[in-house]
Chains A and B, each alone.
Chain A
């Protein structure tokens, strides 16, 4: 076991984790933050996307021990309890989700995309979202949600 200190959504946690435990499982099992979803567990689907030290990353492709000393933001940390972010509101407005399994990763990726590029064009949105797979609702609603969120955040 390895001892790590990790800041998650602003709270400092000291944990003892197996080195082989991926960050997503540390978040879900040790911290009970089950909003981060695991789809493929090998870096293809993007459902487990979280923000580590400002970078959107796949939490299935990083071991918890590698996040020792890092600051992590999960889907639970993006908004306050009773208010949706512009990205979350846009996903609801445009039916950007159906079953919802991919949604946490989508919302985190959209947030990171717009943080880096507040006014992306269509090609940049499509490329930026190409690392997140949705298997039921299709992508048009999600793309419309990104456009609305970009506008809402700029006003």
Chain B
């Protein structure tokens, strides 16, 4: 249970980090280490060089404007969770963070690390997808923006090229009369979810004007439920058929069966957690 030897690099800028990442041999960036160090300890992975991003100030910024909140990739989960302005601007992020690991993990784990790791059962990738977040990415050929819809490609696999680093995540702000909810089923508090959802609803003139349903633990990536979202939009909150929303959300999905749960269980429970989360999101939106 000891990681294999590696060389350690501590760059002080994104440019230095990108340039270090482009060198010879197997190289990897180290964010909070709460997913990477366990797999290194188990010798599932080994690297010639580890590039620690902890000294790069640019990656630790939180910037909030009228229409979006930009969170640096190295902002710790605990820092974001305790950042009242950020949690007020992007309530879904704050709600989801309470479900991420344990407080000792969130004291080291980062927002960008969790999203770049792209565990399909993790909360933060589903939040990014549900909110149409934009990923700011830096590589040797410059910087680019990738939408969340294009970012998550498969299990532990993203649109990041081998020599690219996720620098920040920009979350749109939904504004007043919005409500959000995260619901998940896990064996114990802090475990990865067997199935879960992150939802948002916005009400305008008495009808649901915007709806977003993100799912995790239901496939090889976080997923959206576009058909269920379409059912919600335009509906009076009092007329929503929650059962139909839940079953539509998981309708044509084929989640895997594993040691934690069967595919059928994930779909049955998934429909229920969606119904519960949408209920809570609508209630919150109605409160203004």
Residues of A within 8 A of B (CB): 2, 18-20, 22, 25, 41-43, 46, 49, 55-58, 60-63, 65-66, 109, 112-113, 116, 126-128, 130-131
Do A66 and B33 touch across chains, with their CB atoms under 8 A apart? yes
- A18 in contact with B5 given A60-B41, A130-B188 (CB within 8 Å): yes
Q: What distance in Å separates the Cβ of A118 from its nearest Cβ neighbour in chain B?
A: 15
Do A62 and B108 touch across chains, with their CB atoms under 8 A apart? yes
Which of A41, A43, A56 is most buried by chain B, counting CB atoms within 10 A of its CB? A43
Give CA–CA (A56, B76) in the complex, Å.
Answer: 13
Give CA–CA (A151, B37) in the complex, Å.
Answer: 37
Give CA–CA (A20, B36) in the complex, Å.
Answer: 13
B239 within 8 A of A: no
Give CA–CA (A58, B108) in the complex, Å.
Answer: 9
- A58 in contact with B5 given A19-B50, A126-B189, A127-B189 (CB within 8 Å): no
Residue-wise interface mask of B (31-58) relative to A, using a CB-CB cutoff of 8 A (1 in contact, 0 not) = 0011001101110000000101010000
Q: What chain A residues lie within 8 Å of B1 (beta carbons)? A: 41-42
Could you pull out 9 A-B pairs where Cβ atoms are within 8 angstroms? A19-B7, A41-B41, A43-B34, A43-B38, A43-B105, A60-B37, A61-B33, A130-B102, A130-B189
Q: What chain A residues lie within 8 Å of B54 (beta carbons)? A: 66
Residues of B within 8 A of A (CB): 1-8, 10, 30, 33-34, 37-38, 40-42, 50, 52, 54, 78, 101-105, 107-108, 188-190
Q: What chain A residues lie within 8 Å of B8 (beta carbons)? A: 2, 19, 63, 65
- A20 in contact with B38 given A63-B8, A128-B103 (CB within 8 Å): no
Instruction: Count CB-based A-B contacts (< 8 Å).
Output: 86
Give CA–CA (A130, B40) in the complex, Å.
Answer: 24
- A42 in contact with B3 given A22-B37, A65-B8, A66-B52 (CB within 8 Å): no
Give CA–CA (A25, B37) in the complex, Å.
Answer: 14
Q: What chain A residues lie within 8 Å of B41 (beta carbons)? A: 22, 41-42, 60
